[in-house]
Amino acid sequence: MFSKTCEYAIRAILFIAQKSKQGVKVSIKDVAKGIDSPEFFLGKILQELSRKGIVKSLKGPTGGFYLDDESMQYSLADVVIAIDGDKIFNGCGLGLKQCSEKQPCPIHKEFKKIRSDIFKLLENSKLGEFNDLLDKRLAVLKR
């Protein structure tokens, strides 16, 4: 569904969101441990999310990653688009470049619905939305 990179990205951002709610910034190493991902690779991913403004970062001691109130309003769809692009929301299920209503692949209509469902789900999931669930350990980000 998503690239591995994107899976790490989503888990990382939710981890950071949770910590930010608690008012603490987290280092790459902390996040990597928290979501069970390769540290250096995650560094690259956070770097990219930081460039795109989805996560905030500060260098130096007391530095780290965090989400401010503004960032907390981003949705999972924004994260996915930042990493994997919008292929999953707009691309053809069978890989046709010019798939459209006029020239549809055989499962165009059905997939349109699926893709739209995925988008709605992700678009409606704001980054700050999972904090309670995670705090209560009713959902996890590793293993």
Q: Decide which of DNA, a second copy, none touches 110; Cβ closer than 5 to 8 Å per partner kind.
A: a second copy
Query: Between 40 and 79, how does the x/- string for binding to DNA read (CB under 7 A)?
Result: xx-xx-xx--xx-----xxxxxxxxx--------------
Between 15 and 65, CB nearer to DNA? 65
For a second copy, the closer of residues 28 and 80 by Cβ is 80
Q: Is 29 in the site for DNA (CB under 7 A)?
A: yes
Q: Of these partners, DNA, a second copy, none, which one is at the site of residue 24 (CB under 5 to 8 Å by kind)?
A: none
Whichever of 4 and 109 has its CB closer to DNA, that residue is 4
Q: How far apart are CA 87 and CA 107, in angstroms?
A: 16
> What are the backbone dihedrals phi and psi of residue 138, each rounded to the nearest 5 degrees, phi first?
-85, -5
Query: Taking every pair of C-alpha atoms in the chain, what is the biggest distance, in angstroms?
Result: 57
Helices 39-51, 76-84: crossing angle, 10 deg rounding: 110
**Selection from 32, 50, 49 nearest residue 41 by Cα:** 32
Site size with a second copy, rule: CB under 8 A: 40
Among 43, 75, 96, 126, binds a second copy (CB under 8 A): 96
8 A C-beta contact, residue 95 and residue 22: no
- Does residue 93 sit in helix, strand or coil? coil
5 binds DNA (CB under 7 A): yes
Task: Report the alpha-carbon distance of residue 46 to residue 83 in Å, rounded.
Answer: 10
Task: Please give the residue ranges that form the binding site for DNA (CB under 7 A).
Answer: 3-5, 8, 26-29, 37-41, 43-44, 46-47, 50-51, 57-65
